[in-house]
A and B are shown apart, each in its own frame.
Chain A
Amino acid sequence: MEPTNIFDPNYFHKVVDCQWACPAHTPVPEYIRLIAQERYTEAYMLNWDSNVFPGVLGRTCDRPCEPACRRVRTEETPVAICRLKRVAADNKGDVTAFMPQVPTEKNGKRIALIGAGPASLAVARDLLPLGYEVHLFEQDKKGGGFMRSQIPAFRLPERVLDEEVDRILDMGVHCHFGQEITSMKAMMDMNFDAYFVGTGAPRGRDLELKGREEVDKHIHIGIDWLSSVAFGHITEIKGKVIVMGGGNTAMDCCRTSLRLGAESVSVVVRSAFEVMKASEWEKDDAMREGIPIINNRPPKEFVHKDGKLQGVLFECVTPVKGEDGRLRYEPSGEPDVFIEADHVLMAIGQDNHCPWIERDLGIEFDKWDCPTLDEVTLQTTNPKVFFGGDSAFGPENIIWASAHAHRAAISIHLFCEDQDLIADRPPEGVNLISTKMGVHEWAYDAEHNAASRHIVPLNEEKTALTNIRVEVELGFDQVLAEKEAQRCLNCDVQTVFTEILCIECDACVDICPMDCISFVANEDEEPLRMQLMAPADNKEQDIYVSDVLKTTRVMVKDEDVCLHCGLCAERCPTNAWDMQRSIVHVPQLGSYAE
Chain B
Amino acid sequence: MTFVAKPRVHHPKLPVNEIGLTRRDYEGSVSTLCAGCGHDSVSAAIVQACAELSLPPHRFAKVSGIGCSSKTPSYFLNKSHGFNSVHGRMPSVMTGSNLANRDLIGVGVSGDGDSASIGFGQFAHIVRRSINMLYLVDNNGTYGLTKGQFSATNDKGSTSKKGVPNLYEPIDLVSSALQIGASFVARSFSGDKKQLVPLIKAALMHKGMAFIDVISPCVAFNNHSGSTKSYEFVRDHIHNVMDADLIMTHDEVTADYAEGTREDVSMPDGSTLQLYKVDADYDPYDRVGALNYVQRMQEKGEVVTGLLYVNPDAVECHDIMDTVSRPLNELTEADLCPGSDTLAALNQRYR
Are A510 and B44 interface neighbours, CB within 8 A? Answer: yes
Are A514 and B36 interface neighbours, CB within 8 A? Answer: no
A74 to chain B, nearest CB (A): 6
Please report whether the interface of chain A is mostly helix, strand, loop or mixed according to DSSP: loop
**A507 contacts which chain B residues (CB < 8 A)?**
35-37, 40-41
Asked whether any CB of chain B lies closer than 8 Å to the CB of A215, the reply is no
Are B9 and A514 interface neighbours, CB within 8 A? Answer: yes
Are A534 and B14 interface neighbours, CB within 8 A? Answer: yes
Nearest CB in chain A to that of B47: its residue? A510
Contact A450 B8, CB 8 Å, known A503-B231, A505-B219, A510-B41: yes
Contact A573 B34, CB 8 Å, known A510-B44, A563-B9: yes
Type the 1/0 row for B1-13, where 1 means its CB is closer than 8 Å to any CB of A: 1111111111111
Are A440 and B235 interface neighbours, CB within 8 A? Answer: no
A75 to chain B, nearest CB (A): 6
Interface residues of B in 1-56 (CB under 8 A from A): 1-14, 24, 34-38, 40-41, 43-44
Asked whether any CB of chain B lies closer than 8 Å to the CB of A468, the reply is no
Could you say which of A506, A513, A535 contacts B191, with CB atoms under 8 Å apart? A506
Could you say which of B11, B41, B223 contacts A506, with CB atoms under 8 Å apart? B41
Nearest CB in chain A to that of B219: its residue? A573
A563 to chain B, nearest CB (A): 6
Nearest CB in chain B to that of A563: its residue? B7
Asked whether any CB of chain B lies closer than 8 Å to the CB of A42, the reply is no
Complex Cα–Cα for A550 and B191 (A)? 13
Interface residues of B in 64-115 (CB under 8 A from A): none
A71 to chain B, nearest CB (A): 10
Complex Cα–Cα for A514 and B5 (A)? 14
Asked whether any CB of chain B lies closer than 8 Å to the CB of A193, the reply is no
Complex Cα–Cα for A561 and B10 (A)? 9
Could you say which of A440, A511, A537, A550 contacts B6, with CB atoms under 8 Å apart? A511
Interface residues of A in 556-586 (CB under 8 A from B): 561, 563, 565-567, 570-574
Nearest CB in chain B to that of A534: its residue? B11
Asked whether any CB of chain B lies closer than 8 Å to the CB of A446, the reply is yes
Nearest CB in chain A to that of B220: its residue? A573
**A2 contacts which chain B residues (CB < 8 A)?**
none
B117 to chain A, nearest CB (A): 25
Are A571 and B35 interface neighbours, CB within 8 A? Answer: yes
Most buried by A among B6, B37, B232: B6
B46 to chain A, nearest CB (A): 11
Could you say which of B4, B24, B34 contacts A565, with CB atoms under 8 Å apart? B4
**B12 contacts which chain A residues (CB < 8 A)?**
73-74, 561
Complex Cα–Cα for A74 and B13 (A)? 10
Are B9 and A505 interface neighbours, CB within 8 A? Answer: no
Complex Cα–Cα for A510 and B3 (A)? 16
Are A570 and B44 interface neighbours, CB within 8 A? Answer: no
Could you say which of B4, B8, B13, B38 contacts A567, with CB atoms under 8 Å apart? B4
**A535 contacts which chain B residues (CB < 8 A)?**
13
A210 to chain B, nearest CB (A): 52
**B41 contacts which chain A residues (CB < 8 A)?**
505-507, 510
Are B6 and A513 interface neighbours, CB within 8 A? Answer: yes
Complex Cα–Cα for A446 and B6 (A)? 11
**B4 contacts which chain A residues (CB < 8 A)?**
440, 446-447, 565-567, 570
Complex Cα–Cα for A175 and B238 (A)? 80
**A566 contacts which chain B residues (CB < 8 A)?**
4
Nearest CB in chain A to that of B217: its residue? A505
Nearest CB in chain B to that of A516: its residue? B11
Nearest CB in chain B to that of A74: its residue? B9
**B193 contacts which chain A residues (CB < 8 A)?**
506
Asked whether any CB of chain A lies closer than 8 Å to the CB of B190, the reply is yes
Asked whether any CB of chain B lies closer than 8 Å to the CB of A308, the reply is no
Complex Cα–Cα for A75 and B191 (A)? 32
Interface residues of A in 41-75 (CB under 8 A from B): 73-75
Type the 1/0 row for A166-201, where 1 means its CB is closer than 8 Å to any CB of B: 000000000000000000000000000000000000
* Interface range on chain A (Cβ under 8 Å from partner): 35 or more
**B40 contacts which chain A residues (CB < 8 A)?**
507, 510-511
Are B7 and A503 interface neighbours, CB within 8 A? Answer: no
Asked whether any CB of chain B lies closer than 8 Å to the CB of A551, the reply is yes
Type the 1/0 row for A491-523, where 1 means its CB is closer than 8 Å to any CB of B: 000000000000111110111011110000000
Complex Cα–Cα for A73 and B231 (A)? 36
Contact A572 B5, CB 8 Å, known A505-B191, A535-B13: no
Asked whether any CB of chain B lies closer than 8 Å to the CB of A448, the reply is yes
Contact A513 B9, CB 8 Å, known A504-B191, A505-B219: yes
**B9 contacts which chain A residues (CB < 8 A)?**
74-75, 448, 450, 513-514, 563
Could you say which of A505, A513, A570 contacts B7, with CB atoms under 8 Å apart? A513
Nearest CB in chain B to that of A572: its residue? B35
Could you say which of A550, A563, A571, A574 contacts B232, with CB atoms under 8 Å apart? A550
Contact A514 B191, CB 8 Å, known A503-B36, A570-B2, A570-B35: no
Interface residues of B in 267-322 (CB under 8 A from A): none
Complex Cα–Cα for A572 and B4 (A)? 13
**B191 contacts which chain A residues (CB < 8 A)?**
504-506
B41 to chain A, nearest CB (A): 5
B169 to chain A, nearest CB (A): 29
**A565 contacts which chain B residues (CB < 8 A)?**
4, 7
Complex Cα–Cα for A433 and B34 (A)? 26
Contact A448 B35, CB 8 Å, known A510-B40, A534-B13: no
Nearest CB in chain B to that of A513: its residue? B7
Are A515 and B10 interface neighbours, CB within 8 A? Answer: yes
Most buried by A among B5, B13, B193, B223: B13
**B38 contacts which chain A residues (CB < 8 A)?**
505
Type the 1/0 row for A537-558, where 1 means its CB is closer than 8 Å to any CB of B: 1000000000000110000000
**B10 contacts which chain A residues (CB < 8 A)?**
513-515
B109 to chain A, nearest CB (A): 16
Most buried by B among A447, A506, A514, A570: A506
Q: Which 4 A-B pairs have the closest CB atoms?
A: A573-B36, A448-B7, A510-B44, A440-B3
A residues whose Cβ falls under 8 Å from a Cβ of B:
73-75, 440, 446-448, 450, 503-507, 509-511, 513-516, 534-535, 537, 550-551, 561, 563, 565-567, 570-574
Beyond A505-B37, A515-B14, A567-B2, 20 extra complex contacts between A and B, CB < 8 Å: A73-B12, A440-B1, A440-B4, A448-B9, A450-B9, A505-B231, A506-B44, A506-B190, A511-B2, A511-B40, A513-B6, A513-B8, A513-B9, A516-B11, A534-B14, A570-B2, A570-B4, A571-B2, A571-B36, A573-B35
Q: Can you list 9 contacts pairing A with B, beta carbon distance less than 8 Å? A: A74-B9, A507-B36, A507-B37, A510-B43, A510-B44, A511-B6, A534-B14, A567-B6, A571-B36
